[in-house]
């Protein structure tokens, strides 16, 4: 298995800040239901391990991004605002 540093692929980052929101993917919790992908396919995809990764989360609006993250049935996506207040789940 390669790491992000070895591949240079930033899709496998586990955290990004988008529009003042800190979005974190817990890859150990994700089981590949894909609800977030259904809600915002521009933002997320499932990788070869059937685990969610970022594509272009900055390309969807804030509310849609929050809905996509909130749709995860296993709470693998966490969103906090700029003050550190957890918004999702």
Q: Above 90 in pLDDT, residue 2?
A: no
CA–CA gap between residue 65 and residue 53 (Å, rounded): 14
Residue (of 28, 22, 29) closest to 79 by Cα position: 22
- Which pLDDT score is estimated for 11? 61
Average pLDDT (71-85) is 98
* Structure confidence by residue, pLDDT tens digits, 10-43: 667 799 999 999 999 999 999 999 999 999 999 9
> Which position has the token pair 């700029």?
82
Angle at 39 (CA atoms; ends 84, 52), nearest 5 degrees: 70
pLDDT, mean over the chain: 90
Question: Which domains are assigned to the chain?
Answer: 4-88 (3.30.70.20)
């Amino acid at each position: 298995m390669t790491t992000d540093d070895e591949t240079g692929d930033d899709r496998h980052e586990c955290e990004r800040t988008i529009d003042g929101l800190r979005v974190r993917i817990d890859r150990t919790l994700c089981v590949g239901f894909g609800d977030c992908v259904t809600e915002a396919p521009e933002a997320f995809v499932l990788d070869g391990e059937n685990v969610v990764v970022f594509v272009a989360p900055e390309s969807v609006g804030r509310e849609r991004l929050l809905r996509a993250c909130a749709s995860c049935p296993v709470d693998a996506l966490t969103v906090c605002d700029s003050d550190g207040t957890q918004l999702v789940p």
